[in-house]
Structure 1
Amino acid sequence: MSKKVVEVKTLKVGKYVILGDEASKITHIQTSSPGKHGAAKARVEAVGVFDNQKRSIVKPVDAKIDIPIIDKRAAQVLALMGSDVQLMDLETYETFELPIPEDLKDKLVEGVEADYIVAMGNMKLMRVKG
């Protein structure tokens, strides 16, 4: 489980955060101004990278929060097997299978290169090159 700890005020839309033990991509951040006796708070809304669930959290802006270390890699498509695709990593040459996302079903063909991400022990096919 590779992660870093940062302050909530350093988060930006489009970056990643760990909410509910799941890597999530931030879709919206809203901050409130500090009150007479309290600190400023931030409401972070995010969508899970691997399960597409919406999550939100409210924390003081100077509180600590975990962010996942996302490893972006390239692979070559070896075979299409129904709803799964067999890929070979272009650096380590290891082969593995991943489910095909709905938006990539018509773009995948054998021999084409694709990008995938690895985060917190999960892998997901992101896009097809070319």
Structure 2
Amino acid sequence: MPRKTKASKKTQKAAAAPIDVIDIDDDCEGGDAGASKTFPIQCSALRKSGHVMMKGQPCKIVEMSTSQPGKHGHAKVHIVGIDIFTGKKYEDFCPSTHTMSVPHVKREDYQVIGVWDECVNLLDNKGISRGDIRLPEGELGTQIKTRFEAEEELMVTLMTSMDRDMICGLKKLPK
């Protein structure tokens, strides 16, 4: 007859415990693919007119300069960037050997199919419409509104980064 040990008694108790049932529908509602919104790059590899994250905001690099390394330090890179959504100016110093985050910035063209108070209804080349885009402020927004009311067929360029969208360009729809 086999001898019962303390370990075998523990496994018998664990096997007797009730199993929790997981409702899969609750877990899948707000999921994403887990892709990162940024990627790392060495500071010395950044270039003017590229993009970089500065103070948590996606910025376009408008000015860069590199200082000479000191007696005990690294060469420092001075970066000036403009927020791609708000236009606010940011400055940062970073050792040239350190890494910085670069946002994924995507630009797509959409056809304008409707303009309401503060929103624009857009249609992509696959036939999918979007109505959640705000009309940009300033001259670009007034141009979109007046040209749409004049029944011109318009294309806008939508810039997407860090889960934010903004219309950044306007052109006439090609025939």
Contact residue 4 and residue 67 of structure 1 kept, 8 A: yes
1:102 is the counterpart of 2:138: yes
Letter in 1 for 2:156: A
| Distance in 1 of aligned mates of 2:89 and 2:126 | 33
Q: 2:44 maps to what in 1?
A: 9
Letter in 2 for 1:115: T
Contact residue 32 and residue 41 of structure 1 kept, 8 A: yes
Letter in 2 for 1:100: P
| Distance in 1 of aligned mates of 2:100 and 2:63 | 16
Bigger proportion of residues as strand: 1
Q: 2:156 maps to what in 1?
A: 114
TM-score, structure 1 as length reference: 0.89
* RMSD of aligned residue pairs (Cα, Å): 1.6
Which one of 40, 46, 50 corresponds to residue 75 of structure 2? 40
Distance 1:48 1:105, change over 3 A: same
Runs of 4+ aligned structure 1 residues displaced above 6 Å come to none
Per the TM alignment, residue 106 of structure 1 is displaced from its structure 2 partner at its CA by 4.3
Higher relative contact order (CA 8 A, sep 6+): 1
Per the TM alignment, residue 79 of structure 1 is displaced from its structure 2 partner at its CA by 1.4
Q: 2:166 maps to what in 1?
A: 124
TM-score, structure 2 as length reference: 0.68
> How many residue pairs align between the two structures?
130
Contact residue 78 and residue 87 of structure 1 kept, 8 A: yes
Distance 1:72 1:91, change over 3 A: farther
Per the TM alignment, residue 129 of structure 1 is displaced from its structure 2 partner at its CA by 2.2
For the pair shown, which has the larger CA radius of gyration, 1 or 2?
2
Q: 1:49 maps to what in 2?
A: 84
| Distance in 2 of aligned mates of 1:86 and 1:98 | 9
Bigger proportion of residues as helix: 2
